[in-house]
Amino acid sequence: MRWLATCHMGHYHNGEQTYRADLLPIVEPHFSHDGLPEDHGVEMYVARDGQRWYATRQAVTGWWFAIGAAGPPPDQWLYDGHDPPQGFPAQPEWDRFGGGTGSVNWD
Rounded Cα distance between 56 and 41, Å, is: 8
* Max CA distance (Å), the chain: 38
H-helix segments, 1-107? 2-14, 23-31
Supply the pTM of this predicted model.
0.89
Structural contact between residues 47 and 53, judged by C-beta atoms closer than 8 angstroms: yes
**How confident is the model over 59-85, as pLDDT tens digits?**
989 999 999 999 999 999 999 999 999
Helix, strand and coil in the chain, % to nearest 5: 25, 20, 50
Rounded Cα distance between 66 and 44, Å, is: 9
pLDDT band at 98 (very low <50, low <70, confident <90, very high): low
What are the extents of the domains in the chain? 2-102
Backbone dihedral angles phi then psi of residue 43, each to the nearest 5 degrees: -120, 140
Rounded Cα distance between 76 and 49, Å, is: 18
More confident residue, 9 or 32: 9
